[in-house]
Structure 1
Amino acid sequence: MRILRALVAPLRLLSRGTDRPAPQRLLARLTRQAFAAVGGCFIAVAAHAAACPPSAIASLEKPGIGLRNGIDRGLLWRIERDGRTSWLYGTLHLGRGEWVRPGPTVQKALAQSDTLALELDSRDDATVRALSQPADPAAVARVLSGERARRLERQNAEACVSPGSTARLPPILQVTALTALAARADGLYAEFGVDETLAVSARNSNKPIVALENAADQLRWLTGGSEAEEAEQIDAMLDELESGRLRGQLKTLADVWARSDAARLARYAEWCECLNTPAEQRLMKRLLDDRNPGLADGIERLHAGGRSAFAAVGALHMVGAQGLPTLMAARGFRVTPVLTEAQAQQALPMPALAAPEPPARKAVRGGKNVKGQKAAKGTGQKVAAKGGAKPASKAAAAPKGKAAPRAAPKAANSKVRR
C-alpha cells in the first residue's frame, strides 16, 4: 500500500502561489509537503541534522549529477482512432535529478501532442482551494491519538520535519508525507516527479494542460471510507517506515519503472508487499479499478473532441485487465506498445557545444561584397549554378563610363540565386 502512492496517487499537487492570503498559502504549502515532501521552510534542521538527506536542489550538487542527455524511461503506448494519435504514458510520482530531461521517444510523443492530460493540474485554482481546506481538528485528534500519535512524532523527527508543521492536514496525508520523505535517502524526490517535469515542459511550450480528475475525489480515495480504515492504513505505513522496508520497496519500484519493465510491473503483487491486508486490497480497488474507467472517459473525450492527448498518469493504471491500454482498446482504439520492454538505462553527460562554423568565404575578390556585384575582369572566377558554371560575361566588367548591358547582370544574378 505504501509504495502504491508513488505510482497511482500524485505526491505533489499544489503550486507556490504568492497571490493568496497568507493563511491559505501556508496551509497550501503544508498540504503540498504531505503529497510531495516539499516546503523547505517547514522541514527543520534537527539536532541530528547530519543524518538528514539533502533537499532536492542540494541533491543536484552531488558528484555525477549534472546536465545529461535524456533517455527513455517509463511505459508508453500509442493509441489511434479516427485518424488521430494520442498517447498513454505511465509515470512515477517520485524522480531523480537525472530524470528531469525526458528521453527522445517521450519528447517526440509529447511534441506531437497538442494537450497534456494529467491526473491533476497542480497550478489549477480549484485544486489549490480543495487542498487548502484544513482537516477537522476533532477527526485528527480521534485518529492520531495515544501511541499512534507518538509513533508519528518519532517518524517526523527522523525525517527532519519540524513539530506541528503538518498537524492541520488529514492524518493519512501526514503519514503520506513521510513515505515520500523516506525516498530522499536514495535520491528520489517528489519535486522531480515525472508528472511535474512533463508539466513544466508543457508550460514552456504553451501546451494546454487538462486534469482528468479533481482533488476532492483524490482525497476521498486516499483517506478511505471510515476513520477506522484510515487508522489501519496509517498503522501499516508506520510499520513500514519503522522497519526500513519502505526504502527497499521504493528503490525496486523506481528501478522497474526506469527500465520500462512492464512485465515485472504487472506482477507487482508478487514483490510489492502491498496487498497483504483487507485494507490494502480495498485501497488498491479504490486507487485503480474504481478510477481507471473515469480516466479512460477523460482521455476518450479529449481525443473525440479533436485533441491529440499525451495522457500521463501513474504507471499502475497501465497494467492488468483493467489497465488503460486494455480499456482504450475496448473503446475502439488501436493500441501499440512503444516503451514496455525492460532495458538497460544509462544517462550520458551532455556533449560539449560544437564550435561555431567559420564564416562563408566571400564570393567576390578584391572588392566589397556588394549584392549582385560581378567578379573583376581577369580573375577567372566562375559563377556556380545548376547544370554547370559559365564564365562571367565581358560586358559585366565594362570600363568605367560605359554602361553594361542590363541583360548580362540579370542573367548572372539568376544563376547565383538559383
Structure 2
Amino acid sequence: MRRLFGRWRWLATLPWALLGPPAVADTAPAACPPVAAAPSSASQAQAERTARDRGLLWQVTRDGRSSWLYGTIHIGRYEWTVPGPQVRAALQASDLLALELDPLDPRTAQALRSGMAPNPRHTLGDELARRLANQMQLACLPEALMTQVAPEMIAMTLMATMAQHDGLDAAHGIDVALARRARAAGLPVVGLESPEKQLALLISPTQAQQRASLDRMLLDLEDGKVRPMMLRIARTWETGDERALVDYADWCDCANTPEERAQLKALLNDRNPGLADGIDALHAEGRRVFAAVGSLHLVGPDGIPAQLARRGYSVRRIEFAR
C-alpha cells in the first residue's frame, strides 16, 4: 500500500528532505551516488542571469487582490532553484510566502527530527533488516542511521540517492530555495500544515504496516524502478506538463489496488481542502499570498485552484515560454 511513497512524495511532501540529506558513511566507495556540489559564485550569477520559468503557476484573484499558487518538487538541479521572470515577479508582488511546512523554521525541524525517530516497539525481522542494510550500503548511508530514523524514512532517503545519479538532489528542492529567497527579501514565511500531520501520513502506526510498507519500497529499489520514475517525475515538473500530472495515477504504478487508491486520496485530495482553507484565510486578511505546494495538489477537479474557484476566486494558469 505504501509503495506509492517512493514515487508520489517527490511532488508532495518529503519532511526528511527539508532537513537535508544524512551524512555519507566514512568508508564510502567510489560508486556512491554523487552529491551535489555547492555552486560557485560565478555559477550562481550565471543562473540568476539566465533563469527561466519551470513548474506550474496560477494567479488567483478575489476582492481586487491577486495571490499565486506555485507547484513545487522536492528534488532538482541547482538551476531549477532560481525562479524565472514570471515566478520571480509573482513572488515580488506578494506579501508572504506560504509553504506546506517552513523548512527553515527551527521548531519545524526539531518536530520532524523527533517524529522521525524509530518506534522501539516495532521490529523489522532479520530478512527486512538485511535487505535495508544492503540498500544502505549500496547508497553509502551510515549504518548508524538505522537506530536514528524510522525505516520508512530511510527507504525514502535511499530513493532520493537514486535520483542523484541523474543530477537530481534534495539539496536543490524548490521549497527550501523559495524559503531562503523569501527570507533574504524580508518576506514572511508561514506553514500551511503541521509537521505532526505530515509525519502521520509517512510513519506506519503498526509493525505489520511498517513491514509491508518497507517491503514494497525495497522491492522498487531492488527492481531498479525508482531511478527512471524519479527522472520522469522531474521532467514532468520541469516542463509544467499539467495533463501528465492530472493522469499521474495512470502511470505511477501506485494506484493498482483499492488500498493504494485510498492512500493516494488521503495523501492528495483529502489534504487539498485544508491547504485551500489556509491560503484563503491568508488572502482574506488582505495579504497577497505566494503559496508554493507540491505540484499534484494543484491539478485536477479537486486541486487547490479548483477549490478556490468554487470559493469565488478568478483563477488563471500562467503559461511559461518553453
TM-score by length of structure 2 reads 0.91
Change (3 A) 1:116 1:65: closer
1:77/1:88 contact within 8 Å kept = yes
Which of residues 141, 159, 167 in structure 2 aligns to 1:187?
167
Q: Using the TM superposition, give the Cα deviation of residue 269 of structure 1 relative to its aligned residue in structure 2, in angstroms.
A: 1.6
Aligned to 2:153: 173
1 CA distance for matches of 2:27 and 2:33?
12
Deviation at 1:306, TM superposition (A): 1.0
Q: Using the alignment, how far apart are the partners of 2:147 and 2:169 within structure 1? A: 22
Tell me which structure has the larger Cα radius of gyration.
1
Shift of 1:66: 8.4
Q: CA 1:306–1:10 in structure 2 vs 1: closer, same or farther (change >3 Å)? A: farther
Counterpart among 289, 293, 299 of residue 319 in structure 1? 299
Residue 135 (structure 1) aligned with residue 114 (structure 2): no
Task: Measure how far apart 1:100 and its partner are.
Answer: 2.0
Matched residue type, 2:9 = R
Question: TM-score if structure 1 supplies the norm length?
Answer: 0.71
Matched, 1:4 2:8: yes
Residue-pair matches, total? 313
Tell me how far apart the structure 2 counterparts of residues 94 and 13 of structure 1 sit (CA, whole Å): 8
Q: Which residue of 2 aligns with 1:410?
A: none
Task: For residue 117 of structure 1, give the secondary structure of its aligned residue in structure 2.
Answer: strand
Specify the alignment match of 1:115 in structure 2. 96
Return the match for 2:51 from 70, 81, 97.
70
* Aligned residue in 2 for 1:85: 66
Partners of 2:91 and 2:265 in 1: CA distance:
30
- Cα 1:136–1:158 change in 2 (3 A) is closer
Query: 2:251 aligned with 1:247, yes or no?
Result: no
- Could you report, residue by residue, the CA deviation over 1:162-198 in whole angstroms, capped at 9, with x for unpaired residues? 1122422222112111111111001111110011111
Q: Secondary structure at the match of 2:165?
A: helix
| Higher RCO (CA < 8 A, seq sep 6+) | 2
Q: Does 1:124 align with 2:128?
A: no
User: Who is 1:159 aligned against?
Assistant: 139
State the SS of the aligned residue for 2:60: strand
Q: Structure 1, unaligned stretches of length 5 or more?
A: 15-31, 345-418
Q: Percent identity?
A: 43
The correspondence of residues 157-306 of structure 1 with structure 2, limited to 5 A, is: 157-306=137-286
Deviation for aligned residue 1:254: 0.6
CA offset at residue 76 of structure 1? Answer: 0.6
**Alpha-carbon contact 2:11-2:74 (below 8 Å) kept:** yes
Contact 1:95 1:189 in 2 (8 A): yes
